[in-house]
Amino acid sequence: MPLSDDATQRFLTYALRTDPANLDKSSDAALFGFVAWALVHEPSALDDHFAYENVMRERAFAETKSAYVPPIRQTAARRRDVGRPRETPCQHNGGPVRRHDDVTMRRRRLLRATVRMSECSREPVAKQIAIHGRQVAYRLEGDGPLLVLVHGMAGSAATWDRVIPALAERFAVLALDLPGHGASAKPIDGDYSLGSFASVVRDLMIALDHDRGTIVGQSLGGGVAMQFAYQFPSRCERLVLVGSGGLGPEVTPLLRVLAFPGAEFLYPIIFASILRNAGRGVLSGLRRVGLHPSAYVDQIWQHYESLTDPETRVAFARTLRSVVDASGQRVSAHDRLPLARDIPTLIVWGADDAIIPSHHATEAAASLPNSRVEIFERVGHFPHCEDPDRFVRVLTDFITSTAPARVTDDQFARAIAKSTIS
């Protein structure tokens, strides 16, 4: 699929603005720049890994001043040249240069690795809005009843990429990056408590002119969703908890270790850029031979990559310690779950969740008479990524088969009074 004339012109404009010398050198930096440009401006150009081979050949042709050899004849020529030196006596600017076939093949391999690595982490460009003077990144797609998606710790709105397109066919889907995560602001003096996160969700809904909606939270986002229902019950039509935190003390030992006092001093070593780059190389190599990581591994890797950013690490440490300590999860919603008895609730969990055990789902449902539980077999901590089709079906059926809650302040006050007396 060749690039359109318009796309080619825009790339030339991009290259002239960023590094004009790249147009002469045909350097690897220019290739990476083109990939970055195309991911933002024309991702369709990357759907075919050979989309711009012709552009490369033309640039190599200009370098070597040699005649263009069609691909089929190039293949035959390479067969005849087996064992010959890689350098040719062709002169350019007074010195020998490499054969343009070799330059093209080297950069073609570089392009494949870059594009494949980008395929699992490519994110639509998020919008930004200032809330209380700090930027919050979000995506809003579709039309209909509002569905708010809240990600987990060290995650971002990108975790919902596999389900947003299908959900947006029937709902207005709002997915945000919580403060300290993704593309949102990461203030050093920020408040990373569940209550603060819930307030940001409420403020974002108001800023985008939405009064109420169904709140969906995964992992840490589940705790935020429950906090939202507690603080702003009149704005919560339904509650969906996906592998949620806040429903029991058990949590993976890894998070407990990372929450140890002083552990943050080891974060730059544990989440070092050199390890990130090595991981990228391994994943790229696996994809080249047709091996692709599972959705679970992909999510864990994206979380790890996010923590190689120093600002994100600071926010992560504060967020983690607000909900987890060396003994496990510090917060529990069980004492307040009865207050949400009038809000339809869906609890989704992976049977093989190794981060938060699935028995938390059934225990929470016992306190919520207006709830249903869905356990996904052979699925871990990310049901929305590991089995997105079933997740969309279950969530859509839940929304269409339940009436939205209309909890008034008076009703909530009576519920609080009743729980206080009992």
> How many other β-carbons are positioned within 10 Å of the β-carbon of residue 305?
17
Q: Are 422 and 367 in contact, with CB atoms under 8 Å apart?
A: no
Contact 332, 248 (CB under 8 A): yes
Distance between CA 313 and CA 265 in Å, rounded? 10
| Tokens describing residue 1 | 């699929």
Cβ–Cβ < 8 Å for 227, 339: no
Phi-psi region of 66 (alpha: psi -120 to 50; beta: other; left: phi over 0): beta
**Gyration radius of the chain over CA positions:** 26
Q: Specify whether 219 is catalytic.
A: yes
Secondary structure, 3-state, 18-52: HCCHHHHHCCHHHHHHHHHHHHHHCHHHHCCCCCC
Amino acid in position 130 = A
Which DSSP state fits 133? T
Which amino acid belongs to residue 89?
Answer: P
For 330, counting Cβ atoms within 10 Å of its Cβ (0-12 exposed, 13-18 middle, 19+ buried), the class is middle
381 flagged as catalytic? yes
Q: Which of 100, 151, 360, 381 is catalytic?
A: 381
Catalytic residue among 156, 184, 199, 219: 219
CB 375 within 8 A of CB 349: yes
And the tokens for 39? 């991911």
**Is 298 tagged catalytic?**
no
If residue 88 lies in a helix (H) or strand (E), which one and from where to where? Answer: strand 87-92
Q: Which amino acid is at 268?
A: P
Q: Which of 353, 358, 371, 387 is catalytic?
A: 353
Largest CA distance in the chain: 93
Rounded distance, CA 388 to CA 158, Å? Answer: 14
Catalytic residue numbers read: 219, 353, 381
